Amino acid sequence: MLAQEKKRVTNTRIMFVLGAATILVFSALQSEINFLTLFQKSGNMVEYIQSYFPPDFSDWKIYLEDTIITISMGLWGTILAAIFAVPFSILASENMSPIWIVQPIRRILDAMRAINEVVFALIFVVAVGLGPFAGVLALFVHTAGTLGKLFSEAVESIEPGPVEGIRATGASKIQEIIFGVIPQVMPLWTSFVLYRFESNVRSASVLGIVGAGGIGVSLYQSFGSFLYQKVCAILIILILATSIIDLLSAKLRNWLV
């Protein structure tokens, strides 16, 4: 009996490995992955990269202003998304809401994060016009879907004891959430928000390509004019800004968590 069980488990593992290998090979073919071509064309890549140097910082003031706009877009997109995600994450948690509410809310969150920020930016540029506000709205919608899912998973992982203890005192549902749920999930929620802020700053730098403001506008114009030395300057400023944000986020995370 034990030998048959071991054989069944072994066969299952073999089938799993074969299935996974088949999926990997199929996806590699669909993605047209060819590392040999990468090495064969490496000479062209080196020549192309050389055209980026030395970086041209002649318009650094414009780039700095655009970078500040980009960071502001990422900040407000994240703040609005976090505010939205808090109630929706509670509604999407099976241990806090009935299933007939959980499933529709989860599908809404799925739809929000399934569509890329650039697509949302194109929609909002038509709705509110060119500029950073369209970018903020695009980041808000996509990030709200992502944070809503992450927040709800954190809520579903809480210890039920504190919530049950508060419920035993005759507390309302809102009081259970405020005093029993949020204190347990706040450290995780904070980490998720800070990480998404960093990600949104990077995403915001691309949204300008479709007219949603920020450093992406200058980046797109420089690429379009083949001014690769200016592109290099913009990328350096973006890297520095992202590094500073990462350091500040780490300190803030340690302080809050």
Rounded-to-integer distance, Cα 245 and Cα 82, Å: 18
Per-residue H/E/C for 27-72: HHHHCCCCHHHHHHCHHHHHHHHHCCCCCCCCCHHHHHHHHHHHHH
Model confidence pLDDT, tens digit, residues 18-37: 888 999 888 988 888 877 77
Q: Which one-letter amino acid corresponds to residue 55?
A: P
Mean pLDDT for the chain? Answer: 88
Query: Which pLDDT does position 212 carry in this prediction?
Result: 83
Task: Reply yes or no on domain 60-256 having CATH 1.10.3720.10.
Answer: yes
Find the mean pLDDT for residues 62-66: 92
200 in Cβ contact with 136 (< 8 Å): no
Give the pLDDT mean for 215-243: 90
Q: What is the pLDDT of residue 115?
A: 92
What are the structure tokens assigned to 42, written together?
A: 């490496």
CB 204 within 8 A of CB 124: no
If one compares 230 and 32, the residue with the highest pLDDT of the two is: 230
Please report, as a single letter, which amino acid is at residue 168: A
Q: What is the pLDDT of residue 31?
A: 85
d(CA 195, CA 250): 10
What pLDDT sits at residue 73? 95
What are the pLDDT digits (tens) for 159-185? 888 888 888 888 888 888 888 999 999
Tell me the domain boundaries of the chain.
Answer: 2-50, 60-256
Please tell me the pTM assigned to this model.
Answer: 0.85
Q: What is the pLDDT of residue 62?
A: 92
Distance, in Å, from the CA atom of 155 to the CA atom of 185, rounded to the nearest integer, reads 6
CA atoms of 145 and 143, how far apart (whole Å): 5
